[in-house]
Structure 1
């Protein structure tokens, strides 16, 4: 009963916050004067003046080029910080410079909003690197994704795409910075450390000396969750008591992870002038989320049938790899939230989930539409919505329309390429890893395949969580996942902005009695069917060889 109540409270709070947050974001990205100008204009004006930023609208090519070039420059800057952190200030624990391939991987990982970590947080980076490089990217990476999503929505609505640098600055100053600032103090009040002092040295009763890591964690944690970043200050991430002290901090982290992803459908509805369509997309994604959550809870509470037969786990389910503070229910909920929101933070070790519990987490990332992360996930949602409209048009012999714009061959070719690049980035590297580097995979058989596939799925979906136990801090894994993260992030940015530019330039088509409506229950069914048929079946053979086969081989 208590477990169900805790889930209900979490989801109810997210539901109550989603619509007002969505409406606020629509106001933030409306270039006309608004009430928020008096609160944030004083901060933005010097930034615009220093950067020479004007509110001139960009073409889709200019917008895409601004995204890629600015992100490349930031990636290079943080790479240099990682390579020379031993010579920079705020390094009281004397942490050395990062190895080149690991620095390459880490710089791309955090700039692409992935936060895949092939190092242990507290021993891999100095305080300077954590605050100046990592936290810097934790603001700019989600702000970049949110800006691109807003530009795409403007294109669908037939409006100019806007200016990337204006959108980037507004996303940081009016959304991420104020919420993260307030929540940092809340987490500190709950017991999360915030200090520049070195590790604490403790002497145990047996005479041993123990190093207890700490640092500026509170300011790190708030943007980690709000920006769907997920990388941990500590290697154990949110299983570490200093990064997730209690049930309240656990609840707040899940709310922050879901906050912007659940709000974007309402932002979309306002910006395109069809609030009902935004609600339909929200309800559709919520249904997918609840289905995934139900499967995960059932699997984890059922536990391992082999251990259940021996009288182990029967009452409490699968507690392997889980914090006793949170138990099975909160661990399962967190695992679904973090992969559905493309955050990647963990309060339990995903490698120890049951095969079906692991299947849920990897499926969330493969679909990348179960709310999805800040911006990037919602772009995928709209992509599947357009595919659904296109397929419906083919079935009735009518040129498909979306928001009054005809969906033509060029648009669908770009969407098809975008849709195909995701499985290519996952399945081909997984096959290469299994063939050429099996020694880095710690588990044999079906679980080992899932372990490797999870790493590349997490990279391609810009999630960052992992089946820990994989020997991933090697040149192969650092370079391969770095390339997958980069392509997975920026390829779709370019193609979807191209589609937005194409749709923005088209003249609207008058609605007739034969127009397929996209703001009713029928469209919700078409959307869900498209996601499950087109998205899920793409990966079904690989999932059969991995978690499904593993589940079928578990014997009571």
Structure 2
């Protein structure tokens, strides 16, 4: 328990300065590194023919995002199909099969990184670099760019300008992802993570057998897979193997890498909304001849609210859900397996099946909850061997897809629930719902409802298709309740763009490659387009003055309301299938 508490406290100390730095990047404010990065960005803009000062409407922004990703999908697919060439292929890896290539390229372009292959035997070093590592940078920057545009729309400083997608993509890559990747990559090399272009090494073990030890540019992939909340491992065993994650220090580096930027995104949101409120407050005060201060001040009946604390309430709501899930997962794994107790085996250490001794239950539970809350997908233990309730937590958090999430995704999804919460509360008190000073009306609610419903629809519809067809059933290798859990986990991971898996499925087939690929594609791009449409609708609306009936969305009480709304929606949509999967497995095991 002390390990978990200290890990979280250190994270809270680190995330604030990172959030302030990312806010300066998103808001176009001065940073200490501008003299260097301005020149780098200028060269990229010149080569790409981009004018960063040209703003875009939400429609043009979304179209630019999808078109850019589409071109990269095509190029990446071609590379996977021709990777058998000798260039950076010392292990002689052959070309990837068509349906697997489709699944892989969709997976990495949508920031999912679901792997129906083992990297050490399925990809050449050329593919690992030009497809996997490159896509990890681009997909992460794409998600962050969409989130920043979304925040600009909510802040509403202009009526039709959410920024320039290409400028956002470049600035996030050069000023955030690349510098942090270089620093983090060197730290991982220091801890023993492999970084070379050598062929695999065959060694004789002490048992007299042969073993192949993978080589390659592992550290370069390892750091961006966590910073970009990507998750795809250089090796099939991912961060549970010492080649990718050799020590407890490397485990903490990877843990903080996947936690920092999603949390920083929430801080960025709060500060950008604060800037807009500060501007409004100054305008109001100027009209009344008042002096604006940093706290709430009342003069002559005028209330001036300076700081937008919406970011704090969102962060608190996410943190509450995360801590509840982490507590359940940690408790469940500590209970052990009653089947082993029945045969006289001690379970004083809890359930260590599928876990690395160097991490233990505490850091395994922390990593498991984090990787599925921050939608990274990397693993330092085998999720398929978690206890039923311990395995339900990562599944549930992917079904929620609002607990910090990947690069901006969790924030955008949580704001959808915030809009739903103010709408419900508005109906209860008979007031017009408002969020961030804008009225929430029919158009916004229809789009919000559609955005929220898409995620469970993809999970449940594809799961039903899998258990209702012969092609789907052929991939299920475990009978009973656990088999259903594997199916639910696969599509929850795909739709949430997470990428982790229970790994019990025989999923490298035409059925699973195509259906998982479609779930990843629609789960990524439909949500982004709808959320940008909501931001575009709100930014054109006029701000309304606060009144006695206004629901303040920057309070602890609103954060608690938000948590209840998220859990109620999850219960209404996912409880029946969870009852048939992990919950039924738990009750059977402990009966």
What is the TM-score normalised by the length of structure 1? 0.98
Match of 1:253? 254
Q: CA deviation at 1:431?
A: 1.1
Distance 2:225 2:30 in 1: 30
CA separation in 2, counterparts of 1:94 and 1:140?
27
Q: Which moved more, 1:26-35 or 1:45-54?
A: 26-35
Match of 2:401 among 361, 368, 388: 368
Residue deviations 1:255-290 (CA, integer Å, cap 9, x gap) = 111111111221111101144221121122111111
| 1:85-100 equivalent positions in 2, closer than 5 A | 85-100=83-98
The answer as to whether partners of 1:313 and 1:319 remain within 8 angstroms in 2 is no
Deviations 1:281-325 (A, max 9, x none): 112211111110100011000012222233325201111111122
Residue of structure 2 aligned with 1:74, choices 72, 75, 84: 72
User: Counterpart of 1:334?
Assistant: 367
Farther-moved stretch of structure 1 (306-315 vs 487-496)? 306-315
Match of 2:3 in 1: 6
CA–CA distance in structure 1, aligned partners of residues 578 and 208 of structure 2: 49
Q: Determine the structure 2 residue equivalent to 1:223.
A: 224
Alignment of 1:22-33 (within 5 A): 22-33=19-30
Distance in 2, matches of 1:207 and 1:251, equals 35
Which residue of structure 1 aligns with residue 201 of structure 2?
200
CA distance in 2, matches of 1:184, 1:138: 14
Q: 1:313 to 1:323 in 2, by over 3 A?
A: farther
Q: Tell me what 2:473 maps to.
A: 438
Partner of residue 572, structure 2:
537
Q: Please identify the structure whose Cα radius of gyration is greater.
A: 2
Distance 1:335 1:262 in 2: 17
Once the two structures are TM-superposed, the CA of residue 204 in structure 1 deviates from its matched residue by: 3.7
Could you say which residue in structure 1 is the equivalent of 2:284? Answer: none
What corresponds to 1:322 in structure 2?
Answer: 355
The 3-state SS of whatever aligns with 1:554 is: helix
Q: 1:127 to 1:86 in 2, by over 3 A?
A: same
Note the C-alpha offset of 1:207.
5.2
- Asked if structure 2 preserves the Cα contact closer than 8 Å seen for 1:90 and 1:196, the reply is yes
Equivalent pair of 1:371/1:377 in contact (CA under 8 Å)? yes
In structure 2, C-alpha distance between the alignment counterparts of 1:219 and 1:539, rounded to whole Å = 38
**Structure 1: segments with no counterpart, 5+ residues:** none
Say if 1:261 and 1:372, in contact at 8 Å, map to a contact too. yes
Confirm or deny: 8 A CA contact 1:64 1:497 kept in the other structure: yes
TM-score by length of 2: 0.92
Number of the residue aligned with 1:42: 39
Q: Secondary structure at the match of 1:109?
A: helix
Equivalences for residues 475-554 of structure 1 within 5 A = 475-554=510-589
* Contact 1:266 1:275 survives alignment (8 Å): no
Distance 1:70 1:188 in 2: 33
Where does residue 269 of structure 1 map in the other structure? 270
- 1:392 alignment partner in structure 2: 425
Q: Distance in 2 between matches of 1:376 and 1:364?
A: 13
Please, which of 325, 331, 335 is the counterpart of residue 292 of structure 1? 325
Secondary structure of the residue that 2:309 maps to in structure 1?
Answer: helix
CA distance in 2: counterparts of 1:135 and 1:153, whole angstroms? 27
Question: C-alpha deviations, 1:22-81, integer Å up to 9, x for none?
Answer: 111110012355544213111100101111111211011000001101001001111100
Of 323-332 and 62-71, more deviation after overlay is shown by 323-332
CA distance in 2, matches of 1:11, 1:33: 30
Secondary structure at the aligned position of 1:101 is classed as helix
Residues 325 and 369 in structure 2, CA contact (< 8 A), matched pair in contact too: yes
Asked if structure 2 preserves the Cα contact closer than 8 Å seen for 1:346 and 1:465, the reply is yes
- Aligned position for 2:507: 472
Could you tell me which residue of structure 2 aligns to residue 20 of structure 1? 17
Give the alignment of 1:340-379 within 5 angstroms: 340-379=373-412
Specify the alignment match of 1:418 in structure 2. Answer: 451
Partners of 2:323 and 2:30 lie apart in 1 by: 39
Secondary structure at the residue paired with 1:440?
coil
**Offset of residue 378 of structure 1:** 1.1
CA displacement at 1:12 relative to structure 2: 1.2
Q: Does 1:122 align with 2:157?
A: no
Q: Helix, strand or coil: the match of 2:211? A: strand
Root-mean-square deviation (CA, aligned residues, Å) is 1.2
- Give distance in 2, aligned partners of 1:443 and 1:57: 52
8 Å Cα contact 1:88/1:128 also seen in 2: no
- Within a 5 Å distance, the mapping from 1:156-175 to structure 2 comes to 156-159=154-157, 160-175=161-176
Report the 3-state secondary structure (helix = DSSP H, G, I; strand = E; otherwise coil) of the residue aligned with 1:210. Answer: strand
Task: State the distance in 2 between where 1:128 and 1:142 align.
Answer: 20
Greater shift in the superposed pair: 287-296 or 200-209: 200-209
| Alpha-carbon distance in 2 for matches of 1:476, 1:408 | 41
CA distance in 2 between counterparts of 1:51 and 1:30 reads 22
With over 3 angstroms needed to count, the CA separation of the structure-2 counterparts of 1:302 and 1:40, relative to structure 1, is: same
How far apart in 2 are the matches of 1:65 and 1:103?
25
The number of aligned residues is 553
Using the TM superposition, give the Cα deviation of residue 88 of structure 1 relative to its aligned residue in structure 2, in angstroms. 5.0
For structure 2, list consecutive stretches of 5 or more residues without a partner in the other structure: 275-306
The 1:96/1:529 distance shift into structure 2, 3 A limit, reads: same
Offset at residue 206 of structure 1 (A): 5.9
